[in-house]
Structure 1
């Protein structure tokens, strides 16, 4: 009996090894449409990598999208603005920052700018928040001017005094730092220590777009673990830079659209069952009140806001919301998506241009109102070289065509600086304000940006996710901060375990074979 069992074990081990070897042989994969092998340097070297279901970038949580009634949570329009009337829309799944961007986060940004551009005082100065936003006539807020941003007691408080333009610059910087860190960890770029000690340091910082275009490589940049180069004729052991097709790099960080922000703040995911919304919300939490109804926390404020005139925190000995101004970005309970302070603490910038009647115009899928379409400018279109600014970032210019240009049009537009009559402002519907009337009948123009959420200095009405206000994109105050978002790629489904699904024969779609990774 023991001998039989031993033979059986050996047989199973041999069978497993054979299966494993067979799987290794088939790892190259083949095209299901042509039968040609992928990742074969002898037939062209086409590299198709294993399908990636990406996770969120650092600081982000996943927001499963869906349909909702934008403006639907606003039961009473007490300002009579009529600027967010009910309309059913669909928001694609995306990622969003768990918390507002904090002072410590912004100081990290300032530190990097100072380290990498020590002689560019203008760049550093332009990135500093307007701490003078704390100043108010007949109010002694001067201590916050000097202390709020930099004192460690406020390090986890939301950064304020940030313009919409500064928030967008931060998103670009954060994208590059996250992707650079990923590549250094994987060895596709030299590690930080080697970079610091290298005599052949790159003249410009890492930029994602420039890297993907093959313009950031060479001595002092390339790591030892770059992906293998399967290009025909490449030397043995040749390596290449990472491509977008490899599924390694993250999508750009950006400001959320107004629809995304409102959808995420409302958090109806916790009120749904079998595809039906079982209960509506007025705030990011359930119920009509602003105090907790639960026994252990009964009566506690659910957000940081101004209760009444002259009451920013309550009575000494039992402060109602625990904050005179802002509070920590992780104070209070998160909503059903896991997002903190989607009501109160600080208002938050979103990417949309403000128009009172946007709800009449925007699409019902991923509604957004922006400005001009932008393209990367080419330094040499024939060679595909992107023009860079002095900080190593691609130069963006208004789009010259609504769709992909012909090769001849691209060369002509680049070499002769030709401009077509394409209206690149279609996202604003070419509705330039009348300059003669601006400031007389309206303060809205193409630089008016939406902010939402309510702040430490706002009343409860503004905590409703459907409310909206606007400010010029180059202005700021002590009541507005922001958080970042990121587009989710691939399937929109996140909570696949809560509903039945059809079986998927993925192996058949891929020719029954596994596809290699890149490293």
Structure 2
């Protein structure tokens, strides 16, 4: 199946924008502040825009996952490697979104095509985005055909992309965020449509970036579309238009890699084993039971995932293949778990966002646990005018956070002037816990440092043990192999499953109509 452009999301944006414009022209709105009684969206009293009509929906390709509590590491009933790195602890994961499938070769080719189209003279950007196809080479295997064919041949288009590092996967998530939001704005007429942009031969010099756009730095002739909302700001000229703000609720949150806790929670799919708040049966895999074969009548005995059955047996016997996958298989193969997610065990390992630490279970928060590096802030080119600094690709430049809290105005001004303050020189290390990599030991006593990232799930070349969602391994964030891919996630704004929502979840989560497969 091929990708579907998220027209549904774009159309909903048109409705919202129409409402914004209508309110702006009339200056009338019965929606009043419950605390002051002052009308919202009224240009005569300041024009504060409060949008009560926003309905949270997943971005294209994503499935809504109802959060809850679970025992992280609880599905691991044997520790074959004696790693002791995922001991049991109860945590709570907030509701979130995650891709229904792994990112495929076709998805990655779309990414490469966009780079080539928008930055045709930037060979480095394109080269850095290429997967390392040489991961297929092995001294004693004839895998050379995959080096040239796996990524680009149409027969492999729906197979998961491999040979991508954690850094490349993160860059893809950032790119995907901007393309989804750009598509929403162009299809709804807030930005000029694709045809108009193409006719004026626009390139990466005005490439859309969500943060830069929300900061008001991407507007003007040739960029603004006909359906921009009316500006209610006092003093604005009659009929003046404005760009979309975060308060409008139209643009999507950033795509990102899931945290390890989110990934493990989504993989287990315990929602299928829950009755009135009680988990009836624990799970060892993303399905019920202790085995890796189907107990359904029509598929009885068939493997439920793509993995290495025994040494030398990747897919079964000809004429009656078992899992049927000598290497990877299409991303919608096998039955999905109870959240509707495909291949949360087997096919390819999947990168998650966390930095690997063997003792992550000791130092953790019990709500949305995550182990990362330092917090990052946007860098300002002009702090007084709040103009964000951009790199040559139009993306905001990120710098480590300088303070553990919001600075006072005096501290902020002192930092701008170059004066020494406790906060301007403070190395904020809340995520790293002062555990910088020790160069003199790295490679001698430990392979773990701040660039070690977790991957989970097992692959086509792994034994059944690694299909357990609680197992965890690590690799350097700039490394890749033929067994590791990824899927994206997104933070859920509000909670569509919360106490104010109508009805209850049916067990299988809702899927975006913009799903790419």
State the TM-score, normalized to the length of structure 2: 0.89
Partner of 2:66: 64
Partner of 2:490: 486
Q: Secondary structure at the match of 2:361?
A: helix
Partner of 2:447: 443
Partner of 1:430: 434
Q: Evaluate the alpha carbon distance shift between residue 200 and residue 290 of structure 1 in structure 2; reply closer, same or farther with a 3 A threshold.
A: closer
Alpha-carbon distance between aligned partners in 2 of 1:276 and 1:210, rounded to the nearest angstrom? 46
Moved more, 432-441 or 192-201: 192-201
Whether the 8 Å CA contact 1:54–1:489 is kept in 2: the answer is: yes
Partner of 1:89: 91
Alpha-carbon deviation of 1:366? 0.3
Does residue 404 (structure 1) correspond to residue 406 (structure 2)? The answer is: yes
Q: Evaluate the alpha carbon distance shift between residue 201 and residue 167 of structure 1 in structure 2; reply closer, same or farther with a 3 A threshold.
A: closer
Q: Secondary structure at the match of 1:497?
A: coil
Q: Evaluate the alpha carbon distance shift between residue 186 and residue 128 of structure 1 in structure 2; reply closer, same or farther with a 3 A threshold.
A: same
| Equivalent residue pairs, number | 476
Larger radius of gyration: 1
Structure 2, gaps ≥5 residues long: 1-25, 506-517
State the TM-score, normalized to the length of structure 1: 0.89
CA-atom RMSD in angstroms: 1.7
Does residue 262 (structure 1) correspond to residue 268 (structure 2)? The answer is: no
Whether the 8 Å CA contact 2:29–2:42 is kept in 1: the answer is: no
Partner of 1:126: 128
Partner of 2:318: 316
Partner of 1:511: none
Does residue 497 (structure 1) correspond to residue 499 (structure 2)? The answer is: no
Whether the 8 Å CA contact 2:47–2:234 is kept in 1: the answer is: yes
Partner of 2:349: 347
Partner of 1:12: none
Whether the 8 Å CA contact 1:28–1:39 is kept in 2: the answer is: no
Alpha-carbon distance between aligned partners in 2 of 1:65 and 1:283, rounded to the nearest angstrom? 19
Alpha-carbon deviation of 1:437? 2.0
- Per-residue CA deviations over 1:198-222 (Å, capped at 9, x if unaligned) read 3787832000000000000000000
Partner of 1:336: 338
Alpha-carbon deviation of 1:436? 2.1
Could you tell me which of 425, 441, 466 is aligned with 2:470?
466
Partner of 1:7: none
Partner of 2:153: 151
Whether the 8 Å CA contact 1:381–1:410 is kept in 2: the answer is: no
Alpha-carbon deviation of 1:273? 1.1
Could you tell me which of 158, 164, 167 is aligned with 1:165?
167
Partner of 1:231: 233
- Per-residue CA deviations over 1:52-83 (Å, capped at 9, x if unaligned) read 23110000000000000000000111111000
Question: Runs of 4+ in structure 1 displaced over 6 angstroms?
Answer: 199-202
Whether the 8 Å CA contact 1:184–1:192 is kept in 2: the answer is: yes
Structure 1, gaps ≥5 residues long: 1-23, 500-519
Partner of 2:45: 43
Could you tell me which of 226, 232, 249 is aligned with 1:247?
249
Alpha-carbon distance between aligned partners in 1 of 2:454 and 2:137, rounded to the nearest angstrom? 23
Counterparts in 2 of 1:267-306, with a 5 A limit? Answer: 267-306=269-308
Whether the 8 Å CA contact 1:201–1:221 is kept in 2: the answer is: no
Does residue 457 (structure 1) correspond to residue 461 (structure 2)? The answer is: yes
Alpha-carbon distance between aligned partners in 2 of 1:248 and 1:48, rounded to the nearest angstrom? 12
